[in-house]
Structure 1
Amino acid sequence: MNKRYKQKEIKKCLQNNKVTLAGLIETRVKENNTRTTINNIAAGWNCLNNYKDAVNGRIWIIWDDSWYEVKLITSATQMIHCYIQERSKGFQFHLTVVYGFNTIEQRKSLWSDMIQIGQNVNHPWIIVGDFNAMLSPKDRLAGVPVNENEIKDFSNCVKVMGLNEVQWKGNYYTWNNKQSGNKRISRRIDRAFGNEDWMDKWGHVILEYGNPGVSDHSPMHLILHQTYQQEKGKDSMKMVWNKLKALQHVLKQLNNREFKYINKQIEEARNELAEVQNQLSNQAKDDLIGKEKEILTKLEKWSMLEENALRQKARAMWIKLGDANNKYFS
């Protein structure tokens, strides 16, 4: 993170994803350069770090103070644990950002620290970061096969604490060594876990793994939407309304993400199809025939999505105008 171009890319990532709270690991920034670096990434944001526990502060938590109140609870060489309260809606949770050491023996203190912390947490709790450990034999692609000793401590910690992995989407492998050919190794070492309270409140939230960009790790992006819990004595219809209202923003984002570029995708598929068919007219190779079938399938998919989107918009317009009782229905 000392290089200016990396700071610019991190800043762009935060801005593009509208991030207001972030955990950064493996910073390698000297303590006296902390404020300058943060201002280059997110000017005016606050920062928690673990310089008192580790040389060059292995972990940062940075946030926009207008959005969150953040209080440090404890820190160690491999993690920072804090309490967070969102200012506008007031929801609260605990956050632990992890950057595990490279060896099995060094990581043992991380597992014991996490188990100890878990005994005193009475809020939704999310634990996220680079654990530098794996949970399954398939978590390393190429290189030396994963053995039981590499898995058991991490697996036992998750089991003892009663954690569940947060729903996610994106590439399975979250880190690679940037090598080529037979030397390239990929691993799944970056994860997010929630306790029971977290899963009750935000179990529906999906974490997204992005492309690594300038890093060798995939960034993890999580958007929280508060779920409304049923309270005793509350009107049942009001609670249904609140839940539907809470879904509005989620559905709007889903609509934008899935349908925004439909027309573009259709046009691209048409152009690809024309190009392949032009080649087929000269020579009917098997690979071109296969490619034509793939493009036709893609074109059909996007055309159906376009049709469904238009049908939904028409239905929404009908409902809106009908509810207004205007001349549209006279």
Structure 2
Amino acid sequence: MKIGVWNIRGIHQTPKQIELVKLIKDLSIHLFGVLETKCNDTYFADFVRRRLPSWEFTHNFSRVKGGRIGIFWDPVFITVDTLEIEEQCISLRVACKVTSSIVVVTVVYGFNSLVKRRTLWDSLLRIGSAINEPWMVLGDFNSVLSAADRVRGRVVRPYDYKDFLSCVTALGLTDLPSAGCRYTWSNNNIWAKLDRVMVNHGWLAANFWSSVNFLAPSLSDHSPAVASIFAEPMVKRASFKFFNMWTSHPSFSDIVRAAWNIAVEGTAQFKLVTKLKHLKKDLITLNKAHFSHILERAQAASDALKQAQIESDAAPGLFSSDYLSGLRNTAVLLQQAAASFVAQNKSAVFSRE
């Protein structure tokens, strides 16, 4: 599941609409919060219906003039229940249809006034104390969280961020691991981190594999934030590779024959694919049992043969001829397999170059 937020500074401009929709589609975002829309509820509804057909939406336009927060989502992937709509935040319960995960998401757009933002902190404290689910709080807080969050401009005093810091500390919120822009707002003279994606202890306890990317601001002065949330790490599976050394094993032909003799019903293509899948599984098992770490195995077999020969020389008759022949045959087989493995890898490297 992917969740985005962006202070777009006006959704009524066509270039920004195009940029926003492209961002959502290119990154496969499932829920998106747009801040400072600068439009009314009719225009916002029309925008969603035109640009993102079948998507659902909510907003806080009835609570504050000027359209501060609009949120839309794809109902194919997620189910959304609106919990609270306030002047500076909207809270949703979001259920992912793919992973069955349920989280609470609060999209924030803080007022410019330090005094007026205090109602936002009060709202977050109330919401946070009332929920037990994993909770994500994201958006434009219009406040830094420390003096290090601003470069140039007037000096940041503790008074400027103490209310925000107290709220975050009380709720146990922490920033998601992030990439991209360090400072999320700039007027090309001052840089500041005003936009954040934070989560509570319940989120961390759920062991979601989540992170956020703060992208270049593009047509706005704020960076879009795109949070990726997965129930488990996205591990790229290694592609299957056939190793010629497998053919040297005495059971190789039997393994291939057994996979090819499996009774499969269906089209010729389906039969072929099914048998190849079975063969792939059996070859992986063969590799793990006899050829994994082949270079080390070959060296160990060679060392075992030499050690037995030395001991046999010191005490003739200590080992039977069959035992010594078995060690020799194993060493030869593994050395040949190791040589084949090295040659095949060198050939692959050469072909890539």
Q: Deviations over 1:285-312 (max 9, x none)?
A: xxxxxxxxxxxxxxxxxxxxxxxxxxx7
- TM-score, reference length from structure 2: 0.65
Q: Deviations over 1:267-294 (max 9, x none)?
A: xxxxxxxxxxxxxxxxxxxxxxxxxxxx
Tell me which of 3, 17, 27 is aligned to 1:7.
Answer: 17
Equivalents in 1 of 2:164, 2:38: separation in Å? 25
The equivalent of 2:284 in structure 1 is: 323
Aligned-residue CA RMSD (Å): 2.4
Shift in Å, 1:57: 2.1
Shift in Å, 1:39: 2.9
Shift in Å, 1:201: 2.0
The equivalent of 2:196 in structure 1 is: 191
- TM-score, reference length from structure 1: 0.69
1:32 and 2:42 correspond: yes
Shift in Å, 1:324: 6.5
Alpha-carbon contact 2:209-2:231 (below 8 Å) kept: no
Alpha-carbon contact 1:11-1:40 (below 8 Å) kept: no
Shift in Å, 1:204: 3.6
Identity of matched residues, % = 29
SS of alignment partner, residue 98 of structure 1 = strand
Shift in Å, 1:202: 4.4
**Counterpart AA for 2:115:** E
- Pairwise mapping of residues 67-216 of structure 1 onto structure 2 (< 5 A)? 67-177=77-187, 179=188, 184-202=189-207, 204-216=209-221
Please tell me whether Structure 1 or Structure 2 has the larger radius of gyration of its CA atoms.
Answer: 2
Tell me which of 220, 224, 228 is aligned to 1:219.
Answer: 224
Equivalents in 2 of 1:46, 1:108: separation in Å? 30
The equivalent of 2:258 in structure 1 is: none
Equivalents in 2 of 1:189, 1:130: separation in Å? 6
Tell me which of 7, 16, 21 is aligned to 2:31.
Answer: 21
SS of alignment partner, residue 72 of structure 2 = strand
Equivalents in 2 of 1:166, 1:199: separation in Å? 10
Higher mean C-alpha displacement, 92-101 vs 30-39: 30-39
Equivalents in 2 of 1:13, 1:134: separation in Å? 26
Change (3 A) 1:71 1:185: same
Shift in Å, 1:141: 1.1
Shift in Å, 1:152: 0.3
Q: Deviations over 1:170-190 (max 9, x none)?
A: 12100112x4xxxx1111010
SS of alignment partner, residue 44 of structure 2 = helix
Equivalents in 2 of 1:324, 1:18: separation in Å? 37
Alpha-carbon contact 1:139-1:188 (below 8 Å) kept: yes
Change (3 A) 1:313 1:85: closer
Alpha-carbon contact 2:56-2:72 (below 8 Å) kept: yes
Alpha-carbon contact 2:208-2:229 (below 8 Å) kept: no
Task: List alignment gaps of at least 5 residues for structure 2.
Answer: 1-10, 247-279, 292-336, 341-353
Q: Deviations over 1:56-101 (max 9, x none)?
A: 3211111011111111111111000111111233210000000000
Shift in Å, 1:122: 0.9
* Structure with more helix by fraction: 1
**Counterpart AA for 2:218:** G
Alpha-carbon contact 1:10-1:41 (below 8 Å) kept: no
Alpha-carbon contact 1:78-1:101 (below 8 Å) kept: yes
Equivalents in 1 of 2:178, 2:154: separation in Å? 26
SS of alignment partner, residue 206 of structure 1 = strand
**Counterpart AA for 2:12:** N
Change (3 A) 1:88 1:144: same
